[in-house]
Amino acid sequence: MTMTSWLESHRGETVIIKFGGNAMIDDELARAFCDDVVALGRAGIRAVITHGGGPQISSELIARGIRSEFRGGLRVTTSEAVHVVRDVLVRIGADLAAGLGAAGATASALAGDEHALFTAERAGTEVAGERVDLGQVGEITAVEPSAVLKVLDAGGIPVVSAIALGAGSELLNVNADAAAASLAVALDADWLILLTDIAGLYRDWPNRDSLVGEIDAAQLATLLPTLESGMIPKVAAALHAVQGGVGRAVIVDGRVPHVLLAEPFGASGTTITPAERVVS
């Protein structure tokens, strides 16, 4: 099947694409990403972009002399830091929407704390059996996707920043993979694509011969406790998505130009399927 006919067979499907990794810091890769998203839109695929910006947030915090550290793959976030997180994410969202605009789309940047898009509750985490207080970090408890749907229905591409509102309207920093997964579930998406800076999920990290091509949710759940660092929230997000009804989650290599147009949506990476296999 050619890519054109493959896309044609998926017309009308909803795809949430989490932009991240190297594609975010390399102008040429970012341009290729925007061109691909525009091509998906032209093929009648409903594409929604979500993004994080971990490295950019870290640089800005350092520049402002605010300490931050990661525990269990999540940033410990003070009340001072959370405003920096939001500022950086809003800037990235605006740049991405401008890039998509330059590539020929009508894109609208939406911050997750607006339009009641993401509601979250403060969440800690457990590291080596111990509870860790992460400060203003949240776990998404509700998604109100109407602002996203409005953009999609008008033929545009929503660009969603991963930040949420908690109790008393406090800003909560959320992991961008988790936010993308929650949005994918709320939109009953067919695909969740997570762009990263590695070829996919390795079963026996860092053994480069152990790349996983396809894995179902049950097998992935048994692998989750063995994972490290940034892969923990990413795999947990992929699992949440397919367990919540999303057709497939795919972890793909954002270092590869035009990876989104590699049939099907970057088959070179790791595809996560629901426990009960869906044949498409």
Ligand X SMILES: CC(=O)N[C@@H](CCC(=O)OP(=O)(O)O)C(=O)O
Which CB, 43 or 193, lies closer to ligand X?
193
**Closest Cα to residue 113, out of 70, 169, 155?**
169
Question: Per-residue contact track with ligand ADP, 27 to 66, x per CB under 6 A?
Answer: ---------------------------x------------
Pairwise CA distance, residues 165 & 132, whole Å = 21
Phi (first) and psi of residue 46, to 5 degrees? -85, 100
Choose the binding region for ligand ADP from 5-13, 153-161, 162-170, 192-200 (rule: CB under 6 A): 192-200
CB of 120 to ligand ADP, least distance (A): 18
Residue 54 among known ligand-binding residues: yes
Which CB, 85 or 105, lies closer to ligand X?
85
Question: Per-residue contact track with ligand ADP, 217 to 256, x per CB under 6 A?
Answer: ----------xxxxx--x----------------------
Pairwise CA distance, residues 196 & 178, whole Å = 14
137 binds ligand X (CB under 6 A): yes
Report residue 230 as tokens.
């940034």
Pairwise CA distance, residues 108 & 47, whole Å = 12
198 binds ligand ADP (CB under 6 A): yes
| For helices 231-243 and 176-186, angle between their N-to-C axes, nearest 10 degrees | 10
202 binds ligand ADP (CB under 6 A): yes
Picked from ligand X, ligand ADP, none, the partner binding residue 202 (CB below 5 to 8 A depending on kind) is ligand ADP
Residue 175 among known ligand-binding residues: no
Pairwise CA distance, residues 175 & 172, whole Å = 10
Kindly tell me which residue out of 85, 160, 232, 272 binds ligand X, with binding defined by CB under 6 A: 85
List, edge to edge, every strand of the sheet that includes 46-51.
107-111, 157-161, 46-51, 14-19, 191-196, 248-253, 270-273, 214-216
Report the first-to-last Cα separation within the chain, whole angstroms.
14
Binding residues: 53-54, 75, 173
Q: Which residues bind ligand X (CB under 6 A)?
A: 20, 52-54, 57, 74-75, 85, 137, 162, 173-177
List, as residue ranges, the binding site for substrate. 53-54, 75, 173
